[in-house]
Amino acid sequence: MTTLFSHIGRYFIMMRHVFAKPEKMRMYRIELFHAIETLGINSLPIIAIISLFMGAVITIQAAFGFTSPWVPLYAVGVTTRDSIILEFSPTIVSLILAGKVGSNIASEIGTMRVTEQIDALEIMGINSSAYLVLPKIIACVIINPFLIIISMFLGVFGGWVLGMFAHVITSYQYVYGLQFEFRPYNVTYALIKTIVFAFIIASVSAYHGYYTNGGALEVGKSSTKAVVYCDILILLFNFILTQLLLA
């Protein structure tokens, strides 16, 4: 229990340094663009592939599940839309990003720690936590909502293509289902969740990397710990935010 509180305390101390005034805005901007590319744009292919196939699978499962003649076929479109917008894209994709982006951040910063690169930054008089972490947090908070919106479109698109290809639903019924009682607030809810999850992914992973102590083995351990903690926190905040925003 003491260890947990010491982690929480150290995390908030690091965050206080992260949000300190940058030494030179231009250098932070360069890091921000670099982080947007490595953490965001490079994640696009895996998000696209997973979203397309998950949308397709949800559509097929829904079509085979609705066997009652009382359930209209367009309910398949409604189910696919709501599953993807409410849960799959914001939460499951964020869990996937925690694995890809979180381990990337933790191992990058952890390696810099064990090879004394962070000490070198400190010796130069640079606020190392701000320089290394702030651009990554901003990059994730900016780029993740775009990734999630793309994931939503591709998920719904995957369901539409596969639904027609497998002859489980017609294009008209699927599109009618997508439009049926559509609540734009669901998208707002998904994006709020995404922003909170993006902050968790970047900051918690950076924390584990920044406080790595030892050698290559510890970098691996930090990377694993970062992913595990991010996943737990995402699931916890998913529950809290759903209670707050939907209940």
Partner 1 sequence: MIELINVNKSFGKRTIISDFSCRFEQGRANLIIGESGSGKTVLLKCIVGLTEVDSGQVLYNGRDFIKMNGREKQNIRKEMGMLFQGGALFDSKTVEENVVFPLSMFTDMGEEEKIERANFCLSRVNLKNVNHLYPSEISGGMKKRVAIARAIATNPRYLFCDEPNSGLDPKTANVIDKLIHDITIEYNMTTVVITHDMNSVMEIGDKVLYLYNSRKWWEGAKESILGTDNKELQEFIYVSKFLKEIRERELGDAGKK
Query: Contact positions toward partner 1, by CB under 8 A?
Result: 23-24, 26-27, 111-112, 115-117, 119-120, 122-127
Give 23 or 171: the residue with its C-beta nearer to partner 1.
23
| Residue 7 CB contacts under 8 Å (≥ 6 apart), including other chains | none
Two tokens, residue 196: 């909170």
Cβ 111 to partner 1, closest distance in Å?
7
Nearer to partner 1, 124 or 232 (CB): 124
Amino acid, single-letter form, for residue 39: L
Report in angstroms how near the CB of residue 31 gets to partner 1 at its nearest: 10
> Nearest distance from residue 103's CB to partner 1, in Å?
17
Q: What is the largest CA-CA distance in the chain?
A: 72
Q: Running DSSP on this structure, what letter comes out for residue 43?
A: G
Judged by beta carbon, residue 43 or residue 129, the one nearer partner 1 is: 129
Q: d(Cα 141, Cα 221) in Å, to the nearest integer?
A: 25
- If the CB atoms of residues 21 and 167 are measured against partner 1, the closer one turns out to be 21
Query: Toward partner 1, which CB reaches closer, 120 or 166?
Result: 120
- Shortest CB 42 distance to partner 1, Å: 14
Tokens of 78: 């409604």
Beta strands in 58-99 (DSSP E): none
Q: Which of 129, 173, 182 is nearest to 152 (CA)?
A: 182
| Residue 25 or 49 with smaller CB distance to partner 1 | 25
Q: Smallest distance from the beta carbon of 227 to partner 1, in angstroms?
A: 22
Residue 108 beta carbon to partner 1: minimum distance, rounded to whole angstroms: 8
Q: Which residues, in sequence order, are CB contacts of 25 under 8 Å at separation 6+?
A: none
Answer whether 107's CB lies under 8 Å from 114's CB. Answer: no
Query: Which pair of structure tokens corresponds to residue 239?
Result: 């529950």
Joined tokens for residue 185: 């607030």
**Paired tokens of 147:** 């990734």
